[in-house]
Amino acid sequence: MKKSVFLFPGQGAQYGGMAGKEFLNTPQSIRIFNKASAILGYDLRKICEEADENQLRDTLITQPAVFVTSYIHFEHVKYLLPTAQFMAGHSLGEYTALVCANAISFEDALRLVQKRAELMKNATVSGTMAAVNKVDPRFVACICAEVSAPGAQVSIGAYNSNDQTVITGNHQGVKLVSNRCLALNGVVTPLKVSSPFHSQLMKVAADSFRDDLHSVNFQKPTCKVISNTTGLPFNEANDIVDNLTAQLTNPIQWVQTVNYLRKNGVCFFTEIGPGKTLKNLLRGTPGLIASSTDNQKDLNALADVLKTSVASVATLITTCLGIAMSIRNNNNDIQEYQVGMVEPYRSIKKLQWKLEQEGAYPSPQDIREAVDNFCKILRTKKIGETEEKYWLETLFAETGTLNLMPDYAEMLR
């Protein structure tokens, strides 16, 4: 079955007038902007509508602006697209992914993003970053290792794609590596930053930020969120603090993230937020469909593709059917089995057939009907409360739909 991932961009995705989309000006979107402005202490919506690119380069503005705008994009499309089994965010975007996967509240995440921006803006160590294209990342890493020395610290800041690597460090170190890469016919683009993000030079800021992270109540994500530092899913809520701290001093493992997703059956990669930075990083990758919610043509094309793929795309409905058939049965009462297993299973199967005929994806009402029938099946098979809870958690984790079922979310806490 084909699976889906929602990708959230980081700093660098911003552009002037990025709040101009019609859906960013609905009453719901305005309420989110107003909530954010109250926390930040300034009118974020006005900035996202009117600020030019020079104003948006200030990381104190950029990080909250990209985070909030991306979250509003998600609120707009979450019922328009198939539910994603995975989420991942690039650097700052990891915070958006964690909010959308219900691991942290929007308000707490925004306060962390604001604090993160302040620490990065006021970092005592001066430095810079640059994107290197057309040089093998392994060569770039070797050059960094050869060049780096006291007074010329430099390292990999992000493995973005097989063709793009970001280097980070103090000015001398980045300059030396840039010159070596240019000599190899590479393309080097300096980034408009004032600190060496994602390097060991940010350790003081990272240590300070850890205390802020510990002040927040994280929950286990309701779908698989891929960590920037490991390229693997967060397993527990406790993992989140360690990984978000490490993110400030370690390279972003975006290539490893994409490889993990592809190995786990992800076909649809949808960037949710301003711009199309992450979509562009996937350009030329075979066997996947990449799109951006910032581009209406992309959304229309994706909708057309999805209509013809309903039968082969993994959804909560198909996952219910698969799990229900795989669970052992401990109920020998034929009548109970007929009423509590066969009939609910047929109801879910009928719902899947209807969706395939209509070329549609499950609505919240469809999801509710399927989960309720799934629970009847679990109870009828008499597998015990512990295993019932395990399979419910598995269902929601694999489909990322727990946020649509607040009563079940409360039950599973």
CATH classification of the domain holding 81: 3.40.366.10
Q: Is residue 42 in some structural domain?
A: yes
Helices (H) and strands (E) in the chain, counts: 18, 10
Residues with catalytic annotation? 91, 198
pLDDT in tens, 225-249: 999 999 999 988 889 999 999 999 9
pLDDT in tens, 348-362: 999 988 888 887 778
Q: Is residue 88 in some structural domain?
A: yes
| Nearest-angstrom CA–CA distance, 396 and 371 | 10
Segment (H or E) for 187: strand 187-190
pLDDT in tens, 198-210: 999 999 999 999 9
What are the two backbone dihedrals, phi and then psi, of residue 76, each rounded to the nearest 5 degrees? -75, -40
| Residue 216 and residue 104 in one domain | yes
Tell whether the model's pLDDT for residue 310 goes beyond 60: no
Q: Which of 239, 225, 223, 277 is nearest to 88 (CA)?
A: 225
pLDDT in tens, 171-184: 999 999 999 999 99
Domain end, chosen from 251, 281, 307, is at: 307
Q: Side-chain half-sphere of 23: how many Cα atoms within 13 Å?
A: 17
Domain end, chosen from 307, 341, 366, is at: 307
CB 128 within 8 A of CB 194: yes
| Residue 233 and residue 113 in one domain | yes
How many distinct structural domains can be found in the chain? 3
| Residue 351 and residue 220 in one domain | no
Q: Is residue 195 in some structural domain?
A: no
CB 34 within 8 A of CB 42: no
Q: Is residue 55 in some structural domain?
A: yes
Q: Is residue 243 in some structural domain?
A: yes
| Nearest-angstrom CA–CA distance, 44 and 373 | 44
CATH number at residue 159: 3.30.70.250
Q: Helix H segments across 129-217?
A: 137-147, 171-183, 203-214
Domain coverage including residue 223: 3-122+200-307
Q: Is residue 226 in some structural domain?
A: yes
| Residue 217 and residue 86 in one domain | yes
| Residue 297 and residue 339 in one domain | no
Question: With a threshold of 0.85, does the pTM exceed it?
Answer: no
Sign of CA pseudo-dihedral 401, 406, 408, 412: positive
| Residue 39 and residue 67 in one domain | yes
CB 234 within 8 A of CB 225: yes
| Residue 118 and residue 132 in one domain | no
Domain end, chosen from 307, 325, 345, is at: 307
| Residue 250 and residue 347 in one domain | no
DSSP string over 388-404: HHHHHHHHHHHHT-GGG
| Residue 91 and residue 206 in one domain | yes
| Nearest-angstrom CA–CA distance, 73 and 370 | 27
| Nearest-angstrom CA–CA distance, 84 and 316 | 10
| Residue 182 and residue 236 in one domain | no
| Residue 227 and residue 97 in one domain | yes
Task: Describe the chain by its helix, strand, coil percentages, rounded to 5.
Answer: 55, 10, 30
| Residue 54 and residue 182 in one domain | no
| Nearest-angstrom CA–CA distance, 271 and 72 | 13
pLDDT in tens, 122-151: 877 789 999 999 999 999 999 999 999 999
Lowest mean pLDDT among 13-17, 104-108, 243-247, 277-281: 13-17
